[in-house]
Amino acid sequence: MKNIGIKIAAVIGLALAPQAAFAGRGGSAELIRAAVSSGSVDAITAEIERAEALMCEECIQLVTNLTEDSRYEVREVAAWWFAKRPVLRDMLAVQFSAELPHGTTVQVRNAADFLGRTKTYTALPQLRAAIHRSDIGAEAKLAMVRAVAFMSHTGGNEVLTTAMTDGDASVRVAAVAAWRDVLGQKTAAPVVARLGDGDPGVRAHAATVVGAMSEPSARPALEVLVVSDPDAFVRRNAAWALGRLGDPASRAALTRATTDSSGLVRGFAKAALASLH
């Protein structure tokens, strides 16, 4: 992304000639620069939002720099600003897409967050390829999962199914949670395997997703979890999910769960029993 802001500023400078700039809603390059200097995420966000309609060479360079900030909230609002400027958005999207195959963890993180927040669907093939990279860290993979979740497109399913088997539990949790947010998702079958994950957070999220999507193939695994998982939150979510499925075959497991050591689990199990067909 080196010098890309300068290149874009040059293009927009020609486009604006002979006018110097268009005013925003009280925003200015000076105010954006001051907010950046303050280091405050809230101040930066406020000034970028205030500059929603602002167009000037310096502000383009300033906001471009923010797309590579270390803080997600800042990168997100910078991408939001560019999303309102299709020509500039597309120019940056080309640059960011090119970083997915070979960029560092940080470069891939920044690229994925920009592409996701601007809903650059044309980048889905590059995201599907990049998620298989073994030379980048969890931060980059989390950003790719975020991107797919924000796009909410089934073209990103491969990103999520691959991330569900990642060695980092936080990546697996994010991928499982994102699965049900994708529009047009017809099944939660890929999530069922995560009910046996070694991390309780992943199992708990998986139980919530299969329950919310009423995935019938999850019933046997949920019945095992509700009576034997060592984590109370997993048992609670499994009870809730079984209630959502509503299969009377789960009555025995849920009845056992009504004597659970956790009052929370007992309550959910009783509610689930009442919802069985």
Whether residue 154 is predicted with pLDDT greater than 80 in this model: the reply is yes
Res 6: pLDDT: 52
- Average pLDDT on 142-169 reads 98
- Average pLDDT on 16-33 reads 66
Q: Compute how many other C-beta atoms are within 10 angstroms of the C-beta atom of residue 72.
A: 17
Q: Is residue 96 part of a domain?
A: no
Minimum mean pLDDT among 14-18, 167-171, 176-180, 220-224: which range?
14-18
Whether residue 17 is predicted with pLDDT greater than 90 in this model: the reply is no
Res 5: pLDDT: 57
Minimum mean pLDDT among 10-14, 80-84, 100-104, 133-137: which range?
10-14
E strand or H helix that includes residue 41: helix 41-50
Q: Is residue 1 part of a domain?
A: yes
Backbone angles phi, psi at 39, to 5 degrees: 80, 0
- Average pLDDT on 68-91 reads 96
The rounded distance, in Å, linking the Cα atoms of 273 and 157 is 33
Whether residue 193 is predicted with pLDDT greater than 90 in this model: the reply is yes
Res 4: pLDDT: 61
The rounded distance, in Å, linking the Cα atoms of 42 and 50 is 12
- Average pLDDT on 238-249 reads 97
Q: Is residue 113 part of a domain?
A: no
Q: Is residue 32 part of a domain?
A: yes
Cβ distance 116 to 148 under 8 Å?
yes
Query: Binning pLDDT at 50, 70 and 90, where does residue 8 land?
Result: low
**What pLDDT digit, counting tens, does each position of 39-66 carry?**
999 999 999 999 999 888 899 999 999 9
Res 23: pLDDT: 45
The rounded distance, in Å, linking the Cα atoms of 247 and 221 is 13
Share of the chain above pLDDT 90, in %: 88
Share of the chain above pLDDT 70, in %: 91
Cα distances (Å, whole numbers) of residue 172 to 84, 142, 168: 32, 9, 7
Nearest to 195 by CA among 221, 228, 176, 169: 221
Minimum mean pLDDT among 54-68, 203-217, 231-245: which range?
54-68
Q: Is residue 38 part of a domain?
A: yes
Local structure of residue 56 (DSSP, 8 states): -
DSSP assignment of 185-233 equals: ----HHHHGGGG-SSHHHHHHHHHHHHHTT-GGGHHHHHHHHHH-S-HH
DSSP assignment of 57-117 equals: HHHHHHHHHHTT-SSHHHHHHHHHHHHT-HHHHHHHHHHHHTTTTT--HHHHHHHHHHHHH
- Average pLDDT on 168-193 reads 97
Q: Is residue 205 part of a domain?
A: no
- Average pLDDT on 137-144 reads 98
Local structure of residue 55 (DSSP, 8 states): B
Q: How many structural domains are present in the chain?
A: 1
- Average pLDDT on 76-81 reads 97
Residues in Cβ contact with 15 at an 8 Å cutoff, skipping those fewer than 6 apart: none
Q: Is residue 7 part of a domain?
A: yes
The rounded distance, in Å, linking the Cα atoms of 108 and 146 is 12
Residue 27 structural domain: 1-69
Q: Is residue 10 part of a domain?
A: yes
